[in-house]
Amino acid sequence: MSAPFIFLPGWCLGRGPLNATVESKKGVIFDLPGYGTTPLIHDFMAAADTIAARLAPGTTLAGWSLGAQLALAIAARHPAKVGKLVLIAGTASFVQRDGWPHAMPSAVLAEFTASVAADVEAVLPRFVGNFNRGDARARAVTVELLKLADPRPASETLLTGLDWLRDVDLRDLAPQVQAPTLLIHGAADPLMPLAAGEALAALIPGARLAALDGCAHAPFLSRPDDFRTALHGFLND
């Protein structure tokens, strides 16, 4: 019997953009805390531990963007629960820190957070459009993401996620990952630069990195065939 395949979504958009990809692998999406009927948890590591408690031992765990950060923390803190790890558009730190330049300046995230607090519906199309900049199919992928996105969770949930992106630094945890790890990264991702994926892959023992050219932050929609090929090859090793 194959291991369960569990997928953690990214910030704000929910399950919708990922449904087709996850269903093709007979997987299950776990809502992040505060999304759907899942209770909000304010502490990032407590959220990771709560998700880990739901996993069967040896689960194949995947995450996109913020979900990739949670998946990384789960794999490092609960190695028996994660048999294989897939990080899509993942990073150890979303914002720039000493020794970690491959990221968003803190001031830019602070400005975005203020905009979300004021009116997330007005901000969302610009946010999705911006993280698709540089993608060969930028306009089409942006339209598809916005069409597939779930209804927005409460403002408190969105702002908690942005607090995590501001505060969480996983560079010390990444070397503790024991599971075979695949990083799938858009080579043109403006939100999580490829250099961040390369640096994260270097921190995780034995990690592989699949960089998809002409692709930004949503490789499963931008280059679905190449994405599924990379994922299939890793899951069936």
User: Residue 42 catalytic?
Assistant: no
Which one from 172, 217, 226, 232 is the annotated catalytic residue?
A: 217
65 is catalytic: yes
Q: Measured between alpha carbons, how far is 71 from 124 in angstroms, rounded to an integer?
A: 24
The single residue of 78, 135, 189, 222 carrying the catalytic annotation is: 189
3-state secondary structure 138-168: HHHHHHHHHHHCCCCCCHHHHHHHHHHHHHC
Q: Are 196 and 92 a contacting pair, CB within 8 Å?
A: yes
Catalytic residue among 65, 78, 135, 185: 65
User: φ, ψ for residue 56 (rounded to 5)?
Assistant: -75, 150
| 189 is known as an active-site residue | yes
CA gap 224, 222 in Å, rounded = 6
Active site residues: 65, 189, 217
